[in-house]
Structure formats: C-alpha cells, structure tokens
Amino acid sequence: MAGGPSKALLAELATRPGRDTLASTATKGAFIAVSLLFLAALLFAPLVMVFATALSKGVLPYLQSFQDADTVAAIRLTLVTAAIVVPLNTVFGIAAAWAIAKFEFRGKSVLITLIDLPIAVSPVIAGLIYVLLFGIQGWFGLWLQEHNFSIIFALPGIVIATLFVTLPYVARELIPLMQQLGNDEEEAAITLGAGGLMTFFRVTLPKIRWGLVYGVILCNARAMGEFGAVSVVSGHIRGLTTTMPLHVEILYNEYNFVGAFAVASLLTLLAVLTLVIKTLVEWRTGYRKR
Amino acid sequence: MRTAAVLAMLALACLAGCSTDDQGARVELLNVSYDPTRELYREFNDAFAREWRERAGETVRIKQSHGGSGSQARAVIDGLAADVVTLALAYDINSIQERGKRLGAHWQSRFPYNSAPYTSTIVFLVRHGNPRGIRDWPDLVRPDVTVVTPNPKTSGGARWNYLAAWGYALHRGLDGDWSKLDDPAAEAQVAAAREAAARFVAEIYRHVPVLDSGARGSTNTFVQRGVGDVLITWENEALLAIESLGPNQVEIVVPSVSILAEPPVAVVDTVVDRKGTRQVAEAYLQHLYSPEGQRIAARHHFRPRDPEVLAEHRAKFPELELFTVGEVFGGWNRAHEEHFAENALFDRMLRASRRAGAR
Amino acid sequence: MNAVRAPSILPGFGMTLGFSTFFLCAIVLIPLAALVMRTATMGWEEFLAIVLDERAVASYRLSFGAALLAAFINSVFGFVVAWTLVRYEFPGRKLIDAFIDMPFALPTAVSGIALTAVFAENGPLGQLLAAYGIRVAYTWVGIVVALTLIGLPFVVRSVQPALLEVQRDLEDAAETLGAGRFYTFRRIILPTVLPALLTGFTMAFARGVGEYGSVIFIAGNLPFETEITPLLIVIKLEEFDYAGAAALGFIMLVISFVMLLSINLLQAWGRRRMVAAGR
Amino acid sequence: MSITLDQVTKRYEGSTVVNDVSLEVGEGEFFVLLGPSGSGKSTLLRAIAGLTGVDHGRIALHNQDVTHLSARERGVGLVFQNYALFRHMTVADNIEFALRVRRMRRAERIARRKELLRLVALEGMDDRLPTQLSGGQQQRVAVARALAHKPQVLLLDEPFGALDAKIREELRRTIRQVQRELKITTVLVTHDQEEAFALADRIGVMNLGRLLETGRPDELYARPATRFVATFLGAANLLLARQTPQGIHFGAMPVNARLAERLDGGRSHEVVAVLRPEEIELAPTRDTLKTNYIAQGVVEETIFTGALERMRVRLDHGSTGAQLAATDGNAGASIIEVTRTQHEHRTFPVSLGQAVAIGVRRIHVLPTPLSSYTAWAPDAAAAARLAEHPFLAELAARMKTRIACRPEPALDNPIDSDVQLDNISGVAVIEAHPEAIDRIEWLLHNGAGEVMVLPPLAGAPHRVLIHWADDSARRSTLAVAASLLRHVTAEAVYLGILPQNVSDTQRPMGVRSLLDARSEAQAVHGLDMRTELRFGVAAEELRRQLEDAPEQMLILGISDLDALHEGYGPLFAGATRHAMMVVYRPAGEAAGQQLIGEERLAMSES
C-alpha cells in the first residue's frame, strides 16, 4: 500500500506549463510542511519519546533490560501468540477474500461488516466476551474446569482474544485488491483445466502476494501490540501470561521507565523492521501495489 | 517465502516447547495480588521459598500476578487459579467469597489481625519544599490547591483515600469522639457530621483534575507529569515513590488523622483443595507474620504488625491517630454499599457536583 | 450453503465461504452472542436504566464526539498526508510512508503513555501549547489527540490507493476545460476520493469509539467530563456488574455495527453503479 | 496558421519521446497524427494541449506563443481515449463544466448544452449519469464537453480506441460532421491508418518520436518518401533494385521502365522500390503478362477476403531473381504480398503451389540513399560476426532491410591491392581498426557511397553529429543523415567548424551556411536538427565532441578522398566507442545530387 507516485508521472507533472510557478511551489511546500508538522506532533514525537526514555540511562541499561527473565518470557509469549494467530488469520483472510471477491451472493455486505466488526468492538469488550464464555461463571466455564482445560488466564485465551482483534486485517487488505483484479485470469486457468488449488497458488497468489504480505504485516503488528483485550483475559501472571504490551505496563507501574520503554521500543523496532522489509521487497521487485 | 514462514513458526513452537520447565517434583503457588505489593512479594517469595525448602524439603515456586485490586478479584472469580489472594480491600476478598464461592465465609478470622499481616495508612505527597504549605486535610480544599487521587471505582487504594478523608471530616464533626457513632443521644450530631463529611469529600473531588484508574497511575501523573499539588496515597506508595523517583522531587506530609489500611490475605479454598497445595499456601501466608516476613514488609514500607519490628522502623512510620473501617464504617461491605456501589454516595456526589459545576 | 449466489465457474465457493463463516462464528459471532445473551438476562427497564444513565450518556457523548472529531481531523490531515505522499517527491517520503502504519503496531498503552508524556504540561509539546493556554493532556482534547493517532493509518491507507487511482485523465480534462486547481480539487478529485475517505473516516471513527488503552492514560477520566464509555465498562466490571458492562458493550456494538453496515452497503451500491458503467 | 509547432522536443528519463517535431496545421484543417503506439503522437498532442511541458521548441496557437501557458489558459478542447467523463456528474453537468468554470449565466449554459447535445445527437440525455450510457454515447458526451467553451482547436486522443467497429464508424461520421459544421481546427491521434484516411485532410506519420512525413492521404500513399510510411500506410513490398542510367533492374532483370527523373545523378546504385500488392500482376507465363516482368514465383497461400483475394507468393531465386529488401532473418523467405480483384481472379485462377510469372504495373522508388548493408571483412567468419553486431542488426531490422556479408581478403592490405570490384551496393560496414582509414578509402575508391565503421561496443546513439568537409558534400550527407535518423531515436546536431584563425568578415558566412543547412534539411528531408558552430581543427573538434558523451554517432560527408585521409585520418585510428559513417560523393556528381529529395518518381505502365 505504500505505493508512491511513479517517477515519470512526477517528472511530467513538474514540467507541465504553468506548474513551476511560485504558487504551485508554495502549495507543494505547504502540503509537505503541514503533513510533516502533523505527523511530527502526532506520530514522531511519541516515538521519539519512547526511544529517548528507553535510552535515557544509556545503551547498556537499555540492553540489560532485555536480560530480565520476565521480559524474555513476555517476548517469547508474544512471539508464540503471533506465530499462532497470524497464520490462522491469514488462512481466514484468504478464504474470506476468495468467497467475497470472487462470488456474488446474498448477504455479502453483512459478511463484510462482520469481518470489520472486531475493529469497531472495544478491546475491553473483546476480552469480556471470552470471559463470559470461558470464565468459570461463563457458558463453558464449569465444563472446562472439570476437564482441566484452561482457556482464559492462559495461552489459549490470549491467542483467542488476539485472533478476534486481528481478524479483519488480512481480509480487509485482500478483499478490495481481489475485487479490483477481477476473475478473468482465474477463469482462464480453470478453462485451461487447472484445479482450484492450482489456480489459487499459480494464478491468484502471485497477483495478490504483496497485498497479502502487507495484510500479514499489519496483522502481525497488531497481534504483537494488542493490549486491551489481552489485558482482560491474561490474568497478569508475571513471566507466564504477560505479553509484551502488558509487560510494558507492569514495568511502567514499577517506575522502571527504561525497562518499560525498552520493551516498547522493541515492539516499535519489530514493526519498523517488518515495514522496512516490505519496502525493500517492493523496491527489489519494482512492485507498486495497486 | 512460504517455507521460510513455516520454518520460523516451527522454530518459535520449539522455543515455546523447550522452555517448559521439566524439573518435576515441585510446588507452584499463584499469588494474586494488587499493584503496590510488587516489590514486597518479589523479595518475600524468595525468602519463603528458601524457608520452605529448609522446612519441608520441597521446592516451591511462587508465581505473581499484579493489577488493580478489583480486577484481580474479578479474575479470581472468573477462574484465575489463585492459591492465595493478597488484595487491597477486604471487600474484594468478600466478593470472591460471595460471588465466586471460592473460599469460606470466615476467611478473615483464619489469620491474625483480621488476616491483614501488615498495614498502611493514607498520607499526602507534596512537591519538594511543600510550596503550597499543605499540613492537613483541610488544606486540600483550599481554592488554589489541586489534588491527585485515583478513581475509587477502579482502584482499591482510592477507596482508602476516600474513606480516610471521610473519616477525618466525620472525626472533626464528632469532635474527635468516635464513640458518638454508637450513641443514640448524639444522633443529630452524627447526622450533621455525616453531611459535613459528604460535603468535604465532594469538595476534595472537585479539586481533582485527573482520576487515574490505579494508584501507580496517579503517582506517575503526579510525579512524572507534574500534575496537581497533592497526591493522596498509601504511605507505602509515598515512601516507595520517594525511594525510586528521587527524594528531591517530592516529600511526605502526614495528616493529623488517617485511616488504618489493612490489606488482607486469604487462601482460596477451592483452588488449594483441587491442587493439593493447602499446606504450603497456608504456610506461605503464615510466614508473612513471622519476624522475617514482617521485616520484609517493613522494608517495603508497609507498617508491620509485630511491635518489635515496628519499633525498629519507628522513624519511617510516624505515629498518628488512626481509625479502622470496622470502627467508623461498620465493615467493608457496608462501606461499599453506602459509598461505592452503583448510585451510592460517591456516584451521587459526582452527579451533584456536576450539576453544581454546570451551574 | 443456503446463500443464493450468481453462477460462476470458479471453484471453492462452498469451502471458502464455509470456512470463513465457521471461523467468524467461532471467533466473533458466538462470543458476541454471549454478550447479547448476558444483556438479555436483565429486564428491559434495568437495561434502559443502565444505558440511559446520565453518566453513561455523558460518556457516549464524549466517546462518540471525540471519535467523530478525531475522525474528522484525520479526514482533513490524513487526506493532506496521503496527498503529499502520493503527489510529491521529497527526501524521506518512503520513510514517512512506512511510518504511517506505526499506530497499528504500537501497543495502545505505549502510545497513550508516550502521548501523555509529550502533551503533559511539562512535556515538550504540552509546554508549548500551555503557553497559549491550551491544555491537552487530561482534557477532552487529549482524548481527541489519542484517537487521532489511533485512526490516522485508517484514513491515510484508504485514501492513498484511491488518490493513486484517480484517473489522471479526469484532472487533465478539467484543466483543459479551464478549471483552476482548487476548482478541480473540489469538484473532481474530492468527489472521486470521497468513498475511500468515507471508509477511512468510518474505520477511524469505529476504532476510536472503542479505544481504551491509549485514552485512559491521557484522559483525566473524570466522570461526566473525560470518562469514555469503555472506561465505564471497565468500572462496571470492577464492580462485578457483568450485566451492566455487557449492556453498555451491547449498545456500543449495535451503534458500531449499524454504522459499519451502512457504510458497506453504501460502498457496495457505489461499486454496483461503477460496474454497470463498465458494461 | 492555427497550430504551429517549432522543433518541439520532449524527453522522459533520458529517452527522447518527441524528437524535433515541427508542424503547421491550417485554419479549419482536420489533421491526423498517425503512428504506432509509443511513437510519441499522444505526447505531442498532450504538449499541444498543455498537459505536458516540452524540453525544447515552441508551440503557438493562432500565432500566439503558448509554450509556457498552462492547459487551462490555452482554451483547447481535448477528448480522451477513455472519455474521462466525470462519473459523479450528469451529462448536463459534464457538458456545462467548462461553462460553470467561466461563470456563464444559467440560461446561456442550458442553451449551449442543448445545442451541443443536438450536435452530437444525444438530445434528452441531459440527466443521465455517464455510467448509464453506452461507450459510444459516452464518447459523444466527451466530444460535446470538449466543445462547450468554443475552443479554437479540438484535440482528440485515440477517441475511438475502446469502441467496436460499427460504433466507431458512426462516431467517425459524427465527428467529421461536427468538425465541418464548426470549421474547427482539429488534430486527431490514432494508430489506425484506415481511420486516418477516413477523416484526415492531411496526415502526419510519426515514428520513434519523429514526424516522418506529412501530406494528403492519397499523396502519402502513392509516393511515400520513407520505408516506414510506405509500409505503415497500407501494405507494401519493399524490393531492392539497382538504378542505372538505363533504368531499374531487379536482380539481373531490367525493368522496361521510363523514369520520370533520374535518381542521384547518373550514378549506378542500389535503391529501394515499393510495390503495392494491388499493383502486382500474376500471369501463367512471362509472355502473357501485360505489365513489366520482374520475376517468377510460386503461390504459397491465398486468402479470400470478400472483395479481394490476398496471396503470398514466393519469389523464385533463379538467375534473375529480384531481391526483397527485408528477409526477416531467414534467407529463404522471399515472399511478396499480392492482392487481386475478383475480376483478376476470374481471368486467371491460381491454386496453391502453382508457378506464376510476376509483373508490376507501378513502382515507386524511395529517395533514400540507404538501401541495404554489407558487412565487409577479410574473411567469412569475421564478416558473419560483424553482420551480427547488435546495433547493425537493430538498424537493419528497423529499416526492414538486409545485411549481406562480403569476405574480402583485399581488406587486409588495401593499399597494395589492385583488386577492382564491381557493384558495391548499399552501405559498406567494416569493423573499427587502427588502419580503418585505408579500408574506407579503398572501399570508397571502388565505388562505395557510404562506409560505416562499427566498434564492437557501439550501441544505438542518443545523438548524431553531422559534419561535412566541404559544401559540395552537403546534400548527400543530409540525405544520408535524414534516412538514418528516421530509424533511431537520437537527436541530430549539425556541427559547423571554422578554422581558428578565420577572419571576422568570414564568420557570418559560417553562421549562414549553418542556417542554410538547417533549413535545407527541414525543407527537403523533413529532418529537424540543431546546429552548432565551432572554431578549430575539424577532426580535433569532432573528436572532442565525441569524447564528450557515450552513445553518439558521427556522419561525415566528403567529396574528396585525399581530404579524407589528410584531414580525418586520425579520427578513425584511435580506439573509439562510436559508430562513424563516411558519406562520399565525388565533387563531379554534385550537380546530379540536386535531385535528391524531390526524386519521387513513378514508372509509367508500359
């Protein structure tokens, strides 16, 4: 999605008669200035704050904060959660996008809305609903306890809550892309005798792969960063059910600001890293999305 | 690319799998506690594990969970398998008992001192040098003073703050004589005092610009963000804040009258019976009363029950007139009913002050 | 599959729709049904009393009002940002483009803490604004700022592809017909990008309404003034009042669902119109 | 003049998209810019509209220079290939857009809209949305919209591209009608020659960014000056022929033709002949032909297309074989296209595999001095290697001509060689060599007109330097340069070099000859070029210019072999990256060269 203008287009725009005037230069300058100011105040200031605080005592304390056993456990838990959640939601996103983009059927808008819904549901409620289901007083609570399954206040609960919150991201990315790309190539593949899976892997997947990568990256970033929903179902057991975002809060509340922001900066870096990889891949393949 | 993703996932799964401890014969306890006890239990757990190994030859590992007292109680009610709970309010444990039926009704009498091995009180934290000249409760309602305290609806500590202020005002209205509360002859005076107390507390909350959801949040708001002139907080929190945030920023002011905060502890019967950990769980809580436990508590700024240990730390814990929830409010359940429940005094107070503010 | 569908030679309809419906049911629908059922256990009057409570209504006003305002700010500035990223080449453009997604990735609690640190009266920007008597942290302004941050990527990411897609021809046509650039923007570009902007607006709004983690740090959380609905839900939970929390959650859910559905219907309608044009 | 383009050049990222185009379109004229995709025609149209800036040159509309005016100030009407209708506006709003911008009063707006809708035959469609109209109707709306503000120039960018054949024809008629009614100067861009013929008062054919030729449709079809126009406007068979004072020969076969004019003086040399498929006659034997016999052939394929019968006939390469200019790389495929009417078919029905005699009713000889290439090398392997040089191969493919190989041991030591050669045809190509100058001299001495020196790494040039040693070489050099430049996307620069010590009184002469050369190039060859005047020793100056940048080519004209050796020898001796071509016409033949460029001849039927 991080597609920019093509060089040729920009070059053409710039050489247009009447385009290199003072007014247009000023407009361009103003637009860039407003954008940068807006982003600086809203986006970059907090980010700088995160890193400044994390490094406020120097690099060594920053690095040492990752040696803490609980921090390591939180990082591991977050990675495990993401490793389970992201593939599941990727499969779901692809399946849903296939059904929605490739076929016309009744109730499609409702389905799309249901997929969007988790974005609109307050994370607190997202956590609450699983407590209502799997809590000891919930629908399945007693049965679960009798059979010694723990869902909430354990890894499965964290995974499910994260699944809920990150469910829309891959699908949302793929649906418009696949709708826009149309069915022609798939239909051609089918008429040439390809099976469904072959059509998908050989025809559809190569077309949508960058949209998919972007969706997966967003889904992953959100999965690692989810706070509200996980907070409700986690039980906050130190070193066991605290994910990185929860651990940030814990450290912050222990007045361990360096540690808290170090973990936060790690989350930020993870996100930046994935975004950089995505940009690099785009650049290498000359791909511009949409 | 797909293969890489699969490999990465497998690697993660291995990582997760390998990390599971396989040391076998050992006991695990889960202590579900509230925010300000993080440092206390970190040290105490180690001490108890050492003690238990010597005493019973068993390795015990204590897992800790911290959070807002109310939400921790809710987690236990919803099935968080806590062997012991060490919360801010007796009310929260009462709730576990009533709603979750997870422990016996008489939990509070199972351990000495109302099952509260350490106490604290509510004090003020002011900026270095006390620029506003805060001395006692009445200073909080001066027009030029802003107060930071958490939301009593979400924070156990905030309820202590609220009750301390209320108790002070009542104490003043009753001319310092608690016995009038039970004296039918003083009914009129008590009623007037109650009303004055309500007005006083409402006035304090009108001076609050930020209601954080927890005690630590308030401390951060006050110290880090520079909001407000006074922070009402636990004594242990105030001492910890000075210790970890630097003595040159803030200092403690002890009011003339305050509440005796008694954070209770309890064994969760259903859990320990299922897991078979009752013995170690009870020993764990009992150890809090031992001289070692008391010293650790004192080191972490909680007032120890043990008079000897208290004497050792006298300088840290100045004497002041303290009242208990039981004496003044008739126990936590009543206090909750009257003050904090839905549409109880606190809610009404806010609504009223909003109308006043709107006008 | 009882869904009626138009014929197509492509395979996998039953499987993919079946799987996605199953997954949706398991992860979204059944849990949400639990919420609705829990709400249903209380009487109608009790329900009304909870959701129409003065304080709850005040919190809706704040939650929805702040989310609306933030979405609106995002529509304006997000559009400017998207425009700048799509139409201008300048050093660091790619970097900034990549950073737009950060609010997705940053844990909300971290954004809340960091924003508070920046905008508190002793923070770098807070000091600046305080000099002009503008208080951000612990006021409704702070909530709007937090929600703007949370919603920014939704608007920028919706508008960007739409702007890329605006046929250059349309702008060229307007120009040869004598339209100035502002006129072209107002009459041609804006109407073309509007559906995408609307989607971004709605998503930012929907996300903002439910946001909890970042807001509680920067909001003062004063009842009637800076108390958002999700916080009210948490308060209900702290009081072990599940039904009350469920009721508030249910109301938010209904409003969000209706809003999303209407936007999706609107878009589907718009797309059908476009498709008709292609034939 | 309604539209005047003067040396318009547009580059994108280093490649020249529009290359030195000059053009005048008259008042009320319907001008069609025709060219394959990527030829730069749409860019040129956008430049006229002001949607694309130009890097060089000027654009005037109605004698007012608009080069630096923005599109909105130029007041042209532009119709886009994909209509570019505003989808969220009704037909009425679309048409009134330009009027609203100009704040026209409502009543006037409505009147104008009604008038325009009548003009494009869409009355009553005012309130429809573009999405509710068919493609043809949408394009009519686009035309009406472009005309709303009464532009003085109407520009159409492939307006029928997305429509099917029937609607296309209908819309064509509408547009022609509207244009006649409004008498509006119109420029239409298309890649469809049929469309160009149907609409144009005048056609301009573009290729590789250059405007190759302009002219009335029938003129261009009958007498194209370039290979590209000959083959792009209708089908054409290009054959290599030899022109001698006696007439035209295909192979050894003289064509009994009276030529209107003689080409290139009386010199005997190779030419390119255009044979239109419909001008070819087939007969059972040579004797039964009513027209000039050129070769024997075998029928390879016949296709019935209704009115006409199209065939492919393989030329018989016997002793007398005529040679096709292009052989598409495989030596055997000497196939010509023939079309016959039903009447001809009935007179002489043919079947597949039948041997036939081929005659021709009319030949058009292209005035180009470049006919084919011959790779010269001391041995066969080297010649074959040279023939595969990428730049040479590309050039030959673009010119639709062939590369012959000639192993010639004499090349190794040309000075001692007494060998006399005959019939050197086309451009002689040799590899770069320290003694290249001797080989060039030897070839030129033996009758070659042009010699190209090709270093192994030379590629397609971005700039072609043109220089002639003395003025008598001017015409032929310009002709060669023009022919070459039609097939590469390079810019042309003529370098006039005066001696350092030239007196002040002589300097204006240098400038004048420069300007003369430029206007001659433009008038005679339709080639626009830049001119630069330098002072110094010619060979040194040229070397300096060549070393300036990679991917250049030099065309050097001489009329005196001794002058070549003395003046320019060192230029060919050094290691060089650049292709260089020497054009040699002995001074004595200069008189005959006057005819170059006007030499459009037809051969009468005999």
Residue C5 is predicted with a pLDDT of 64
Contacts of A255 in chain B (CB under 8 A): 216, 220, 240-241, 244-245
Name all chains with 3 or more CB-CB pairs below 8 Å to chain D: A, C
Q: Encoding tokens for residue B47?
A: 């001490």
In the predicted model, what is the mean pLDDT of chain C? 84
CB proximity list for B236: less than 8 A, separation 6 or greater: B36, B120, B300, B301, B302
Contacts of A109 in chain C (CB under 8 A): 261, 264-265, 268
- The whole-number average pLDDT for the span D420-442 is 83
Most C CBs within 10 A among D101, D102, D104, hence the mutation to make, goes to: D101
The reply to whether D102 touches chain A by the CB within 8 Å rule is no
- The whole-number average pLDDT for the span B104-130 is 91
Name the pLDDT band for A272 (thresholds 50, 70, 90): confident
Cβ of A141 within 8 Å of Cβ of B39? The answer is no
Cβ of A132 within 8 Å of Cβ of C242? The answer is yes
The reply to whether C133 touches chain A by the CB within 8 Å rule is no
The Cα–Cα gap between B112 and C188 comes to 79
Cβ of B211 within 8 Å of Cβ of C222? The answer is yes
The reply to whether A18 touches chain D by the CB within 8 Å rule is yes
ipTM entry: 0.75
The reply to whether D393 touches chain C by the CB within 8 Å rule is no
CATH of the domain at A276: 1.10.3720.10
Alpha-carbon gap: B14 to the closest alpha carbon of chain A (Å): 10
CB proximity list for A115: less than 8 A, separation 6 or greater: A96, A167, A168, A171, A172, C24
Alpha-carbon gap: B274 to the closest alpha carbon of chain C (Å): 25
Q: Count structural domains, chain A.
A: 2
Residue type, position B52, single letter? W
Q: Are residues A180 and A131 in the same domain?
A: yes
Q: Are residues D345 and D399 in the same domain?
A: no
The reply to whether D69 touches chain A by the CB within 8 Å rule is yes
Q: What is the pLDDT of residues A97-140, one digit of tens each?
A: 999 888 888 888 888 888 888 887 888 888 888 888 888 777 78
Alpha-carbon gap: C201 to the closest alpha carbon of chain B (Å): 30
CATH of the domain at D289: 2.40.50.100
CATH of the domain at D129: 3.40.50.300
Residue A87 lies in a domain: yes
Most C CBs within 10 A among A47, A84, A110, A128, hence the mutation to make, goes to: A128
- Touch between chain A and chain D (3+ CB pairs, < 8 Å)? yes
More confident residue, C155 or D522: C155
Cβ of D84 within 8 Å of Cβ of C176? The answer is no
Q: Are residues A144 and A103 in the same domain?
A: yes
The reply to whether A19 touches chain D by the CB within 8 Å rule is yes
Q: Count structural domains, chain D.
A: 3
Residue A135 lies in a domain: yes
Half-sphere exposure of D115 (CA within 13 A, CB side): 14
- Please provide the distance, in angstroms rounded to a whole number, between the alpha carbons at the two ends of chain B: 65
Residue D223 has pLDDT above 50, yes or no: yes
Residue A11 lies in a domain: no
Q: Are residues A50 and A74 in the same domain?
A: no
Residue B224 has pLDDT above 90, yes or no: no
Residue A142 lies in a domain: yes
Cβ of A12 within 8 Å of Cβ of D50? The answer is no
Q: What is the pLDDT of residues D312-328, one digit of tens each?
A: 988 876 545 566 766 55
Residue D428 has pLDDT above 60, yes or no: yes
Give the chain A residue whose CA is nearest to the CA of D52.
A16
Residue D15 has pLDDT above 90, yes or no: no
Q: Are residues D201 and D247 in the same domain?
A: no
Most C CBs within 10 A among B151, B204, B355, hence the mutation to make, goes to: B151
The reply to whether A11 touches chain D by the CB within 8 Å rule is yes
Q: Are residues D430 and D545 in the same domain?
A: yes
CATH of the domain at D417: 3.40.50.620
Most A CBs within 10 A among D51, D55, D65, D78, hence the mutation to make, goes to: D51
- Out of B12, B30, B79, closest to residue A135 by CB: B79
Lowest pLDDT segment from A66-70, B295-299, D187-191, D507-511: D507-511
Q: Are residues A78 and A201 in the same domain?
A: yes
Residue B21 is predicted with a pLDDT of 43
Lowest pLDDT segment from C124-128, D263-267, D413-417: D263-267
Q: Encoding tokens for residue D453?
A: 């020196």
Q: Are residues A104 and A229 in the same domain?
A: yes
Q: Are residues D353 and D217 in the same domain?
A: no
Tell me, rounded to whole angstroms, the distance of Cα D109 from its chain centroid.
46
Most A CBs within 10 A among D15, D16, D64, D68, hence the mutation to make, goes to: D68
Residue A60 lies in a domain: no
- Which residue range is the domain that position D390 belongs to? 373-605
- The whole-number average pLDDT for the span B169-185 is 87
- The whole-number average pLDDT for the span A210-233 is 85
Contacts of C233 in chain A (CB under 8 A): 122, 124-125, 128
Residue-wise DSSP of D420-437:
------SEEEEE--TTHH
CATH architecture of structural domain C32-88+152-212+223-278: Orthogonal Bundle (1.10)
Q: What is the pLDDT of residues D229-238, one digit of tens each?
A: 988 988 888 8
The reply to whether C105 touches chain A by the CB within 8 Å rule is yes
The reply to whether A10 touches chain D by the CB within 8 Å rule is no
Contacts of D52 in chain A (CB under 8 A): 12, 15-16
Residue A2 lies in a domain: no
Q: Are residues A203 and A174 in the same domain?
A: yes
Q: Are residues A36 and A93 in the same domain?
A: no
Residue A15 lies in a domain: no
Q: Are residues A206 and A231 in the same domain?
A: yes
Cβ of C239 within 8 Å of Cβ of B68? The answer is no
Residue A4 lies in a domain: no
Q: Are residues A243 and A174 in the same domain?
A: yes
Residue B359 is predicted with a pLDDT of 40
Q: What is the pLDDT of residues C209-251, one digit of tens each?
A: 888 888 888 888 888 888 889 888 888 887 778 888 888 888 8
The reply to whether D70 touches chain C by the CB within 8 Å rule is yes
Q: Are residues D119 and D74 in the same domain?
A: yes
CB proximity list for D332: less than 8 A, separation 6 or greater: none
Q: Encoding tokens for residue A20?
A: 């290199």
The Cα–Cα gap between C103 and D258 comes to 84
Give the chain C residue whose CA is nearest to the CA of B206.
C222
Cβ of A240 within 8 Å of Cβ of B63? The answer is yes
Q: Are residues A38 and A112 in the same domain?
A: no
Are D389 and D419 in contact by the 8 Å Cβ rule? The answer is no
Question: What is residue B127's three-state secondary structure?
Answer: strand
Q: Are residues D132 and D99 in the same domain?
A: yes
- Which residue range is the domain that position A106 belongs to? 66-285
Q: Are residues D36 and D134 in the same domain?
A: yes
The Cα–Cα gap between A190 and A209 comes to 20
Q: C56 — alpha (psi -120 to 50), left (phi > 0) or beta?
A: alpha
Q: Are residues A155 and A135 in the same domain?
A: yes
CB proximity list for C179: less than 8 A, separation 6 or greater: C187, C188, D72, D97, D98, D101
- The whole-number average pLDDT for the span C56-77 is 92
Question: What is residue A198's three-state secondary structure?
Answer: helix
Q: Are residues D256 and D168 in the same domain?
A: no
Bridge partners of D315, per DSSP, are D297
